[in-house]
Every structure is written in C-alpha cells, then in structure tokens.
Amino acid sequence: MIKNHYETTERYCLIATEDYEEIMVHCIERVQESPSWALPDFFKENLNIFVEEAYQRGDTKTAWLYIKRAQQLFTGHFQLSLNDGKAFMLDFDNGVLPVTGQYKNCYTGANHWLKAFYLAIIMRDMKAIGILSQVSEDIFKADEQGSENFDNQLAALFKAIFNPEANFAEQLVITTASFIPDEFTKARFGYVSRLFWPQLAIIQAIFTPGSEDKFNELMKEALKLHKEFWKKKSQSAAAEGVISLPLTALAVLAHDHAGYKLTVKNGYILDWLVTAENAPSNKASQAHSAQATEPTDIPPRVLQALKEGDGSELESLREQNHTQYLPALIALYEAEENWDLRAGIVALLVDRVDSTSDILSPLMNDALNSPDHQIRGLALVWLYNDLSVYDQILSDYGIDEQKVDGLKKKYLAARDGKSEIE
C-alpha cells in the first residue's frame, strides 16, 4: 500500500467548506465580469475543496460537484484565449453562462493546460477535450512565464491520443526525445522527472495490447515518485499532490480504452473516479481514445464530407442512422467555429427529430439562448426539422440576426403554447 503523505481533519474540512460556500456566492457574477482572473481563481477553490471532501468523505455528490466545477472553470479559462473579444457559452454545473473571451497570457502554459486536460479525461468530457485540443503551442509559449519544450510536446501527445488524424506513435517518439535533463533547472528537473516523465511509458503501455501487468508495474513506480516529490513540501503546498490528477487521468484512459484494472493499492488515485459509477450524467460517456477504433467515432467518410463541405456526399448520408456517434457529432458542433461544417452537421441530423426525448433537443433548445445569432439560427433549422429554414434566415451577408430572432419568437410561441411546431 502506497499511503498518502497528507493528513487533515473533519473539522478542517467543515471550516474549508463554509469558506468555500461564502466565496462561491459571487462566482457567476465575477466570472462574467472579470473572467481572466476569476476562472483560474475559482478553479483553484474548487480543486482544493474537492481534495478535502474526497479525502474525508469519499465518493459523494458534493465531491463530484467540486471536481466538475474545477474542470469546467479551467476549461473556460482556456476558452478565453480561443475567443478573444467574442462571446461564448461556458459550461457550468448543468447549464451554460454567456462569457466574453478575454485573452491574457497568464496560466496558459502547457503545464497549466495539462491540468485542465487531465480533469477533462477524468470527467469523460469529450466536449472539453475538443475545446482544449484547439489551444495552440503559440498560446502555451506566450504565457508570461513561458512554456518549456517538453511540456509542449507532452501536451501534443495528449492531443494526439484523441485525434484520429494524428500520428500518435511519432508524437510519442518526439515527446520522449524532448526530455533533455541539461535543459532544466534543478528544481524544474525534480518536478518534471517525477511527475511528467513517468507518464510516457504508462501511455505506451495503455496503447500496447496485453500490457496490463506492465501498466501496473509502471503505475506503482510513478506513484512512488509522486509521493517522494510531494511529501517534501509544506503542508499547504503538499495539498496539491493529495490526488494525482495525471495518474488518475491515465488510470481512466487505461480503464476506458484497454479495460486495464489498476491493482496497485494507493492513496493517490481514487477508484471511484476511475470507474465513475456514480459520476453525474457521465455514465454513457467515456474517455475513449480516438486512436482506437470505437463505434462512437465519427466514420472517416462522414468526417471528410463535413470538413470538405461536400454537399452531394452529405445529402447521400442524410438517410443513415448516426445514433452511434451522435455524441461525437455534438462535440464537434460545439467545438468548431467553421460554419459550413456546423451547417453540414445540422443537415445530417435534421431528419432525426423523431421524439420529444431525442438527446439533441436539450442541446438545440439551450442553443436558442446563445448570444451568437448564428448558433441560434442553426439550432432553429434543427428544431423546425426543415432545411428551408436555413434559406429563410440567410441574407447577402450571412445569417441575418433579425430574421433569426423573428423565427425564434414564432418557435417559442408554438412550443410554449401548443408544445409543437406548426
């Protein structure tokens, strides 16, 4: 058993919870007013209280709420850089918040990005993984403290895991070669060699069939290194290492992709995070690797037609059943800013309005509240189940905001008055 280095008390957890609740009262207001500082601050608050709750009380609804918020808020922090000066919808709890992007080169290095990505994997949030995968190396390097090459390459490796078009094996080689001890300061080498470097061999084991024993052997050594690093820190600093986000994320990947079971008894990886049996609204969504051939992946023919805007090919695909990879299409719709591609997705799915319980209905109805009139317009095409609606809302300069708002009023009146679209 690899015991946790950290010690705390139930009384401390109660006090921390009271402080957290006072702070969170103003969370939404502050995130919308000053997102560039509020998002990373509230991320830390939620991650810290998650550690206390999980350490003291285990698998509770409250613990899941805290880690979900931490993941959503830190993903939102990187969305600011992707949407500088533009409005976007930030996932928060079970709804969305309209936020205006505000680029700021603080906490945007690859080492910070990796925390957000680990959390997205742990929460099986494919939408967040898609968003974070858009963050470029240029953004990493522009961080006020810089971003080292090995960190950047490790981030590229995690992106490659979920990108079917990436050369995963090649990126693993590149990342391995980028670990050059002489390029690190002594303090930085201690951090990277104990917390980052062990991940490479573990990732390779996860994607090498029949390597469950090797995976567990490597995880055991990585857990020892994790403890060695964090037990030397002060009590306040050591709290960051109470739960190993990197190793938990890798345990989730091993569980979901390869069916590997972590057999190493330890105090740093929580089994209930890995199995996610009680995760809120996550049971049907797993962090499947795009490097594997999974039935939930968008078929290459469909993805190619969407990316190329091939109208005739999309028309021929419209009659097919896209249910198996519907979550992936939804994630692509929400992550992309290419309106031709988004319109193609709507065209593919528009014939799917076959029941009031269709899983796209909540998404499209929520999209009607988007500050972006183009998103509202495409949602209306789907909700009306009529491609001619797309022509109705178009003008010489793209989707017309006034036409969208007029059609939205008609839709809402029909929905709320008669529960159907006439």
The fraction of the chain above a pLDDT of 70, given in percent, is: 87
pLDDT at 287: 46
Alpha carbons 363 and 366: distance in angstroms, whole number? 5
pLDDT digits over 264-287, tens only?
Answer: 999 999 999 999 988 875 433 344
Average pLDDT over residues 347-368: 62
Q: Who has greater pLDDT, 352 or 106?
A: 106
pLDDT at 274: 96
Task: Grade residue 238 by pLDDT with cuts at 50, 70 and 90.
Answer: low
Task: State the average pLDDT over residues 352-373.
Answer: 63
| Tens-digit pLDDT profile for residues 116-158 | 999 999 999 999 999 999 999 999 999 999 999 999 999 999 9
- Which two tokens mark 245? 């986000």
Which position has the higher pLDDT, 289 or 273? Answer: 273
Query: Binning pLDDT at 50, 70 and 90, where does residue 421 land?
Result: very low
CA 92 to chain centre: 12
Complete DSSP assignment for 172-233: HHHHHHT--GGGS-HHHHHHIIIIITHHHHHHHHHTSTT-HHHHHHHHHHHHHHHHHHHTTS
Residue 234: pLDDT band by 50, 70, 90 thresholds? low
Could you give the angle at which helices 110-122 and 149-161 cross, rounded to 10 degrees? 30
Confidence label for 397 from pLDDT (cuts 50, 70 and 90) = low
Amino acid at position 369, single letter: N
Give 165 or 203, the one with higher predicted confidence: 203
The answer, yes or no, to whether residue 231 has pLDDT greater than 80, is yes
| Residue labelled with tokens 């105090």 | 267
* pTM of the predicted protein model: 0.70
Amino acid at 41: D
Confidence (pLDDT) at 117:
98
Task: From residue 290, give the alpha-carbon distance in Å to each of 36, 149, 173, 209, 403.
Answer: 31, 24, 19, 16, 39
Tell me the DSSP string of 79-99: HHHHTBTSEEEEEETTEEEEE
**In terms of pLDDT, which residue wins out, 180 or 382?**
180
Task: Return the C-alpha torsion angle 393, 395, 401, 405, nearest 10.
Answer: -30
Chain centroid offset of residue 237 CA: 26
Rounded Cα distance between 194 and 226, Å, is 6
192 close to 184: Cβ distance less than 8 angstroms = yes
d(CA 289, CA 315): 29
DSSP secondary structure, 61-78, as one string:
HHHHHHHHHHHHHHHHHH
Report the distance separating Cα 350 and Cα 344, nearest Å: 10
* Residue 365 clears pLDDT 60, i.e. is over it: yes
Q: What Å distances lie between residue 266 and 101, 121, 324, 354, CA to CA?
A: 40, 20, 36, 48
Domain limits, the chain: 10-275, 295-350, 353-422
Q: Could you give the CA distance from residue 189 to residue 180 in angstroms, rounded to a whole number?
A: 9
* Each residue's pLDDT tens digit, 1-53: 999 988 888 899 999 999 999 999 999 999 999 999 999 999 999 999 999 99
Q: Is the per-residue pLDDT at 245 higher than 90?
A: yes
Residue 181 confidence class, pLDDT cut points 50, 70, 90: very high
Whether 386 shows a pLDDT value over 80: the answer reads no
Q: Band the pLDDT of 213: cuts 50, 70, 90.
A: very high
Residue 321 has pLDDT above 80, yes or no: no
Handedness of CA 305, 306, 308, 311 (dihedral sign): positive
pLDDT of 308 above 70: yes
**pLDDT exceeds cutoff 50 at 353:** no
